[in-house]
Chain A
């Protein structure tokens, strides 16, 4: 869309809205706001544009430090170099395993705990357990990080397993809260009819309750996916072997070796951003409703 065509209707639209405000002005498109939002979206898009442009340049062109120029010629050298230098497939695998274990573990552990707590809310010990878990919401990672580094080292958890476990634990408060709020809205009659038919609590949970929790599980899954896939602080401290690090940490480790080969470093950043952005683009509706749902609970 060229600027000339978009400004004309915008001005006209604004004028119409102004003259008819109070009667049917409400139905008119607010072109001023639309244009302002388009302008503001540049703040998001420009850094992404720069990343993509830099990544496809030759090393020679990237050293002119012009972030906005188009790559000429288009070169994939940066990607090849970054792929080999950072051992991208291995870092990708580590990040993937950490994320999968974190997401699955969070959904299972928090939903089971929430079910036990909500169904036994009249018992003191279950209520205490709830508040105990909730306390984690107020503990920032830096506060307990150093003893955790020592502990995971002692237990042989100074690897991706330890990082995944810690992601599960730090999300426990929020996720159990989300699941328990949702569980309280499920009528007990549903369960009772199933129990009448002779189902045990175990069967009731897995066959009836867990499937009902699916929308909340999606929300929890999205939050845990984003926080564990993108995390830098925790893996950088917990994982002791640099060659088995996650993608964000690998990018930090190789800063000095990228040196002034900006096409290589930006190719590496682009490869780091791409998986989450691709997931987001394809699951956008789902992600948005999940994030909003998590936000308002």
Chain B
């Protein structure tokens, strides 16, 4: 630690590179590929899409400028509004569920247990499987195994497929995407819990603290920053949910499980290019605002 500190100050005091006039051209060459592909494949499409959202373009051919009419129409469109309602419900429930499960798994896996490595290895597996593939597997389980189980036990709610129930199909999508999202959140919590020094617990247990008090007053305050990271990364991903929906319900039954991403893509094949670009712009704005709010909330806390 001291070593790096000394070196850093040494660098600040003796800036060899800064003394040179101008930038060595080779550095521009190093930077160029990144900036070039980024501008071509993200900035240009983003600007083009935003511009088109003020037209009536269907994706090809001529178009006219129609001002903010697409945006006004969005707020009156039942399908759009319900896709936002579904997406927010899905994201909010998923982010809570994933974080609770991931935190307790991480807590278990960093405590004094046996078979730590095999257990950790198993819990990471969902992370290496494609979302669309595990969604297909779960679709079979929901349509067949869960209903067989429900019928055998005479539980009415489970005797028909959850995926065919317009009121509860969203819960199936939450369960499946939680299955796939827990590992990455869990790894972040494990990394966080490893930074809590063991002596802290020793000291507190000498003082007679119960495990619950340890959790409440030591562990949670120390890992609260990691909770913030998980919330921000997770929420952004859940808002863009798509693969699990294609694999499980195709947006159905009816339009019950159409997410914003699903609606945007479906609109494209339906010739609603400009309209869906307005939708994308609103969606982007909301994603940014939520990310900034979360950043503010988690950074506002002490520690």
Closest chain B residue, CB of each to CB of A111: B30
How many residues of chain A are within 8 Å of chain B by beta carbon? 106
Q: Is the CB of A33 within 8 A of B111?
A: yes
Cβ of B126 under 8 Å from chain A = yes
- Name the contact of B30 in the complex, choosing from A112, A272, A281 (C-beta under 8 A): A112
Cβ of B45 under 8 Å from chain A = yes
Q: Is the CB of A22 within 8 A of B261?
A: no
Q: Is the CB of A30 within 8 A of B140?
A: no
Cα–Cα distance between A30 and B107 once the two chains are bound (Å): 12
Q: Is the CB of B34 within 8 A of A112?
A: yes
CB distance from A19 to the nearest CB of B (A): 14
- The digit string for A156-190, where 1 denotes a CB below 8 A from any CB of B, is 00000000011011101000100000000101110
Q: Which residues of A contact B52 (CB under 8 A)?
A: 147
How many residues of chain B are within 8 Å of chain A by beta carbon? 96
Cβ of A68 under 8 Å from chain B = yes
- Name the contact of A230 in the complex, choosing from B120, B129, B206, B260 (C-beta under 8 A): B129
Cα–Cα distance between A64 and B109 once the two chains are bound (Å): 38
Cα–Cα distance between A185 and B11 once the two chains are bound (Å): 12
Cβ of A8 under 8 Å from chain B = no
Name the interface residues of A247-280: CB closer than 8 Å to any CB of B: 247-249, 251-252, 255, 262, 265-266, 269, 272-273, 276-277, 279-280
Q: Is the CB of A277 within 8 A of B129?
A: yes
Cα–Cα distance between A188 and B11 once the two chains are bound (Å): 7
Q: Is the CB of B30 within 8 A of A185?
A: no
Cβ of B167 under 8 Å from chain A = no
Once A26-B205, A50-B141, A149-B268 are accepted as A-B contacts, the answer to whether A187 and B11 lie under 8 Å apart by CB is yes
Most A C-beta atoms less than 10 A away, residue of B34, B109, B273, B280: B34
Cα–Cα distance between A248 and B134 once the two chains are bound (Å): 10
Name the interface residues of A19-50: CB closer than 8 Å to any CB of B: 21-22, 25-31, 33-34, 36-38, 40-41, 43-45, 47-48, 50
CB distance from B94 to the nearest CB of A (A): 15
Cα–Cα distance between A239 and B260 once the two chains are bound (Å): 22
Q: Which residues of A contact B54 (CB under 8 A)?
A: none
Q: Which residues of B contact A192 (CB under 8 A)?
A: 16
Most A C-beta atoms less than 10 A away, residue of B42, B131, B246, B291: B42
Q: Is the CB of B141 within 8 A of A146?
A: no
Q: Is the CB of B141 within 8 A of A37?
A: no
Q: Is the CB of A148 within 8 A of B45?
A: yes
Closest chain A residue, CB of each to CB of B285: A143
Cα–Cα distance between A145 and B287 once the two chains are bound (Å): 15
Once A165-B41, A189-B7 are accepted as A-B contacts, the answer to whether A44 and B125 lie under 8 Å apart by CB is yes
Q: Is the CB of A140 within 8 A of B283?
A: yes
- Name the contact of A30 in the complex, choosing from B113, B125, B247 (C-beta under 8 A): B113
Cβ of B124 under 8 Å from chain A = yes
- Name the contact of A47 in the complex, choosing from B119, B128, B137, B280 (C-beta under 8 A): B137
Cβ of A51 under 8 Å from chain B = yes
- From DSSP, what is the main secondary structure of chain A's interface residues? helix
Cβ of A96 under 8 Å from chain B = no
- Name the contact of A144 in the complex, choosing from B27, B42, B119 (C-beta under 8 A): B42
Q: Is the CB of B26 within 8 A of A200?
A: yes
Cβ of B165 under 8 Å from chain A = no
Cβ of B277 under 8 Å from chain A = yes
Q: Which residues of A contact B190 (CB under 8 A)?
A: 292
- The digit string for B261-274, where 1 denotes a CB below 8 A from any CB of A, is 10011001000010
- The digit string for B15-43, where 1 denotes a CB below 8 A from any CB of A, is 11110000110111011011101101110
Cβ of B188 under 8 Å from chain A = yes
Cβ of A113 under 8 Å from chain B = yes
Once A142-B264, A151-B41, A232-B243 are accepted as A-B contacts, the answer to whether A276 and B27 lie under 8 Å apart by CB is no
- Name the contact of A269 in the complex, choosing from B131, B136, B184, B277 (C-beta under 8 A): B136
Cβ of B133 under 8 Å from chain A = yes
Cβ of A67 under 8 Å from chain B = yes
Q: Is the CB of A280 within 8 A of B125?
A: yes
CB distance from A227 to the nearest CB of B (A): 10
- The digit string for A70-109, where 1 denotes a CB below 8 A from any CB of B, is 0000000000000000000000000000000000000011
Cβ of A136 under 8 Å from chain B = yes
Closest chain B residue, CB of each to CB of A222: B128
Cβ of B98 under 8 Å from chain A = no
Q: Is the CB of A47 within 8 A of B112?
A: no
Cβ of B164 under 8 Å from chain A = no
Q: Is the CB of A292 within 8 A of B187?
A: yes
Closest chain B residue, CB of each to CB of A142: B261
Q: Is the CB of A27 within 8 A of B112?
A: yes
In the A-B complex, the 4 residue pairs with the smallest Cβ-Cβ separation, listed nearest first, are: A147-B45, A113-B34, A230-B130, A116-B30
B: residues with CB less than 8 A from A are 4, 7, 10-11, 15-18, 23-24, 26-28, 30-31, 33-35, 37-38, 40-42, 44-46, 48-49, 52, 59, 105, 108-109, 111-115, 119-134, 136-138, 140-141, 144-145, 148, 179, 184, 187-188, 190-192, 201-202, 205-206, 208, 236, 239-240, 242-243, 246-247, 260-261, 264-265, 268, 273, 276-277, 280-281, 283-284, 287-288, 291
A: residues with CB less than 8 A from B are 21-22, 25-31, 33-34, 36-38, 40-41, 43-45, 47-48, 50-51, 54, 65-68, 108-110, 112-113, 115-117, 119-120, 122-123, 126, 129, 132-133, 136, 138-151, 165-166, 168-170, 172, 176, 185, 187-189, 192, 200-202, 205, 226, 229-233, 237, 247-249, 251-252, 255, 262, 265-266, 269, 272-273, 276-277, 279-281, 284, 287-288, 291-292, 295-296
